[in-house]
Amino acid sequence: MKYTYFVAATGTGTGLTSVCLGLVRALDQLGVRVAFAKPIAQQFGTENEPERSTHLANATLGLKPAKPIELAYAQQQLAAGQSDPLMEDVIQMTQTSAEDADVLIVEGLVPVSDENYIPELNRNMAKALDADVILVAAKNADSTAQLNERIKMSASLFGGIESRRVIGCILNKVGAPDPSSQQVMAEEDPTDARNVKEGEALSVEDFTKILPVFQSDDFKCLGAIQWNPLLVAPRTSDVANHLGAAIINEGEIAERRVQSITVCARTMPNMLQTLKAGALVVTPGDRNDVLLASSMAALNGVPLAGVVLTGDLTPPESVMNLCHAAFKTGLPVMTSKLNTFSSAQRLNSMNTEVPADDIGRMENVMDDVASAINAKWLAERAEVIEERRLSPPAFRHLLVQQARAAAKRIILPEGTEPRTIRAAAICQEKGIAHCVLLGNPDEVRRVAQTQNITLPDSLEIVDPEQARRKYVEPMVELRKHKGLTAPMAEAQLEDCNVLGTMMLALDDVDGLVSGAVNTTANTVRPALQLIKTRPDSSLVSSIFFMLLPEQAVVYGDCAINPDPNAEQLADIAIQSGDSAKAFGIEPRIAMISYSTGQSGTGSDVEKVREATRIAKERRPDLLIDGPLQYDAASTPSVAASKAPDSDVAGKATVFVFPDLNTGNTTYKAVQRSANVVSIGPMLQGLRKPVNDLSRGALVEDIVYTIALTAIQAAQMSNS
């Protein structure tokens, strides 16, 4: 272990765990080997819940921090004057957690008003670990002067802002609404942003000027994490548990999130505007009109968070039958024994911390925190700024950075599909690519409104009805050798995939991403007809970037070629190796088979053996070996016995499968069984970048595929 950062909260409600894990993510994105430890447990939930910090570190980051010391035991040791033995336990625990890490992030205890021994524990742990101290503060209801004083007082516990070990503070929840302003009104939406005046979102530079505590050269503002209401949105199932509600219709209760609460004690016309994506409708159980209106919204594609029927009242069976089709859309419906006002009050008092089992939300929180922290300065201070590996977070970070630098225009033919619209908005806001949605503008805006998606002003929407005519003659010219006529071309251009591909063929856009609702054939066929393969490629193939816990690797071909011959398999290996290198992965290419080396015979293994020979002959600059069994390619201990002289075995980064059956089955088995994120498929061998999506793709998958496509476009334009 080379360097330790001890992270301490200045008070309650600072989001200490979120900041700690976000800091781990930020350093991981730089390629730093980073570990996490929570030396002493501090439970705020029920006793049977897992310790939140270590559980989330394991579930989101794949780390294995040691089990924390119980707080009650730590209290007993302090009371008995056994502070030194307790600190020995803390050191042992953190060393176990750190293993071979370059940097260790240690989460301290949150100060609680009636437990005055906690500051002493934090101070003793930081000293025992010889750690640099980073404070975490949130303004909450404090004035700016009070925030400054709170930071200064917390720093004094560790030696003050002048101490060389107290290096700075991370400000969380910047711009959050004042908690005292969020009063529940029986006829108002208590969490609607329109009713809450949020604080001003200030930058690190702003705080450096405003807060006197940061005007010392030795104490820095290390990050200013802006308040994001979407990151405090609980699942509807969390709301049901908090209310002790009975479930009438479960629907998608575990997936939907509460972004706003509308308390319906008004007439229908006065509350219709609140029925939007993520809204939780709270209404008396005898307001059948509200339930029916919510059902109509659901049937019109509005993903409400759910409906809470209060007063322990259930609608009659005739009304429930009318709502049956809406229930099948996934709309959660529950009943609360509390009245409407009391239900709303209880909802407003929900803990905004991320529950231990809400992994998806924690991932988003960590990414948000990581983007706001000056991790590079911290890595430089620890003298570990060099990238040592391309971890999954580092790979995703690299994708975003390279895509931003590429600044390419990407066409999305499925422009009215909700996930695609949301991904385009994200990419536009983050500068990942200039996205072009192909679809009727009115329909795109309607879908965006029902899904509560804010479309950036710079997001381009192209109406296919108006754009189509421009591409008829060029398409006839491209396909005249196939006998294509203008009427035939016009008919084919009715398909937005074909229209988008023609836009790419004529350089009106730089890349294309499709497949959220279309099949792979519908995406690839127009590309083969209109874009065609590169001169140096005999075929189009695909790869997936598999984000394994320790590193990102490449799998190919898992989506396109059913049974390539030896020549084609060699081409796939070369394409995959070049793609890996282009995306920052050092290619060590393993040609996968059921046999390793010369031990097996049969036509299948001979094909792999011949493909390996051809690929090596064509590209002596690439490290290629095969045939190798998967375990020999991936596991050093197996490689030592099965292929001891191989430069690839045991450390392969590119896995080339002998056929589509093997490749597709393997990637899906690894993805699902090991809960691994896969990005792709990314197509190889085309003159211009066209990429296919899985029809089950998440918004995040689409965002990263757009980033991949933008990077490919930049690489092709430079080659």
Provide the residue ranges of all domains of the chain, joining segments of one domain with +.
3-232+358-381, 236-348, 393-530, 541-685
For 3-232+358-381, which CATH superfamily applies? P-loop containing nucleotide triphosphate hydrolases (3.40.50.300)
Q: What is the pLDDT of residue 201?
A: 61
Peptide bond into 631 cis (omega under 30): no
450-479 pLDDT tens trace:
888 889 999 999 999 999 999 999 999 888
User: Between these two residues, 566 and 358, which has the higher pLDDT value?
Assistant: 566
Q: What average pLDDT score do residues 246-274 get?
A: 87
Question: What would the two tokens of residue 620 be?
Answer: 């002596």
Q: How many CA atoms lie within 13 A of 665 on its CB side?
A: 7
668-690 burial: b if 16+ Cβ within 10 Å, else e? eebbeeeebbbbbbbbbbbbbbb
Reply yes or no on whether the pLDDT at 325 is more than 90. Answer: yes
**CA–CA gap between residue 191 and residue 185 (Å, rounded):** 10
Q: How many CA atoms lie within 13 A of 171 on its CB side?
A: 28
What single-letter amino acid sits at 555?
Y
Reply yes or no on whether the pLDDT at 532 is more than 80. Answer: yes
Fold agreement between 3-232+358-381 and 393-530: yes
Lowest-confidence range among 54-63, 196-205, 505-514, 653-662? Answer: 196-205
Closest CA to 182 of 169, 200, 197: 197
Reply yes or no on whether the pLDDT at 183 is more than 50. Answer: no
Q: What percentage of residues in the chain have a pLDDT greater than 90? A: 52
Tell me the CATH architecture of domain 236-348. 3-Layer(aba) Sandwich (3.40)
Closest CA to 585 of 616, 550, 614: 550
User: Between these two residues, 370 and 100, which has the higher pLDDT value?
Assistant: 370
Residues 6+ apart with CB under 8 A from 556: 541, 542, 543, 544, 572, 573, 575, 576, 579, 654, 655, 656, 657, 663, 684
Which three-class secondary structure state does DSSP give residue 213?
helix
Domain boundaries 393-530, corresponding CATH code: 3.40.50.10950
CA distances from 442 to 317, 455, 494, 500 (A): 38, 12, 18, 19
Closest CA to 131 of 152, 156, 107, 147: 107
* Ranges of H-type helices in 417-545: 418-430, 441-450, 464-467, 472-479, 486-492, 496-505, 520-530
Q: What is the sign of the dihedral through the CA atoms of 572, 553, 431 and 259?
A: positive
Per DSSP bridges, beta strands 552-556 and 541-547 are antiparallel
Name the pTM for this structure: 0.69
Q: How confident is the model at residue 653 (pLDDT cuts 50, 70, 90)?
A: very high
Which three-class secondary structure state does DSSP give residue 519?
coil
Q: Which CATH class is domain 541-685?
A: alpha beta
Q: What average pLDDT score do residues 75-100 get?
A: 86
